[in-house]
């Protein structure tokens, strides 16, 4: 909230533990430190191995950049991270992802040292089905329905959530439009996180100018890591 009031903008690098080997992760960390990345987000729709703890430990041992968990399930929790985005999928109607898994995890999370950040997660149509839409068994908000996005984000704010995260999903054909970002940002008082389908520094800058407080990029930088510095600079 303070960062939004002070108009501080941030860039988060999304790391999927399934996709990076140790050597690649070391190179990614070096690039992130040099580029001035503000946060690491760690998580994915699926975890096919047990690399989450290893990834978090490596990030924490080599940098001072805060590590936030972006969990796709209850299995994606590590006490070694700094914070956890407690995602409630408010754009969908799957009760398990609205509150069900949260009930199961509540006692465990209360005892953990993690900073818990209640987050309204909104999936926006990015032009093709994505892993998150399939795994969550929910329909995304249509890309041209700003009114639905506004009311969904407002509902999250009125429910007491602390962050709103609009995501087109990893590998989306189309990122979230500047028009929708501006509409939602103008309607809420909460910090707005935007991710999914962002492939260029120009789009990062557009999202920031439209009202995003934090831009998240993962898939594009797995394919073209040399763009990291340019994207971070466009954000800042």
Binding site for sn-glycerol 1-phosphate: what residues are annotated? 165-171, 196-197, 218-219
Counts for the chain of helices (H) and strands (E), in that order = 11, 8
Decide if 210 contacts 182 (C-beta within 8 A).
yes
Token pair recorded at residue 136 = 């969550």
Give the residue ranges of the annotated binding site: 16, 45, 165-171, 196-197, 218-219
207 alpha-carbon distance from chain centroid:
14
Give the residue ranges of the annotated binding site for Mg(2+): 16, 45
Residue 197 DSSP one-character state: S
Helix residue ranges, H only, 36-78: 52-62
Rounded Cα distance between 94 and 97, Å, is 6
Decide if 121 contacts 165 (C-beta within 8 A).
yes
């Amino acid at each position: 909230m303070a960062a939004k009031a002070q108009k501080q903008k941030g860039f988060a690098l999304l790391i999927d533990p399934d996709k990076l080997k140790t050597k690649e992760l070391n190179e990614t960390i070096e690039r992130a430190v040099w580029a001035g990345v503000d946060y690491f987000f760690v998580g994915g729709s699926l975890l096919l191995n047990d690399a989450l703890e290893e990834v978090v430990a490596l990030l924490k041992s080599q940098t001072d950049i805060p590590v936030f968990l972006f969990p796709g399930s209850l299995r994606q929790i590590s006490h070694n991270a700094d914070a956890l985005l407690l995602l409630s999928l408010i754009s969908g109607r799957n009760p398990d992802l609205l509150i069900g898994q949260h009930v199961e995890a509540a006692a465990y999370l209360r005892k953990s040292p993690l900073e818990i950040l209640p987050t309204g997660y909104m999936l926006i149509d990015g032009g093709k089905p994505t892993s998150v839409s399939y795994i969550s068994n929910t329909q995304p908000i249509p890309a041209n329905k700003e009114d639905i996005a506004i009311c969904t984000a407002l509902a999250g704010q009125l429910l007491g959530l602390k962050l709103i995260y609009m995501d087109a999903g990893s590998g989306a054909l189309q990122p979230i439009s500047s028009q929708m970002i501006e509409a939602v940002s103008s309607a809420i008082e909460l910090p707005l996180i935007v991710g999914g389908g962002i492939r260029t520094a120009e789009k990062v800058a557009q999202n920031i100018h439209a009202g995003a407080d934090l831009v998240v990029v993962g898939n594009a930088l797995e394919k073209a890591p040399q763009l990291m510095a340019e994207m971070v600079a466009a954000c800042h």
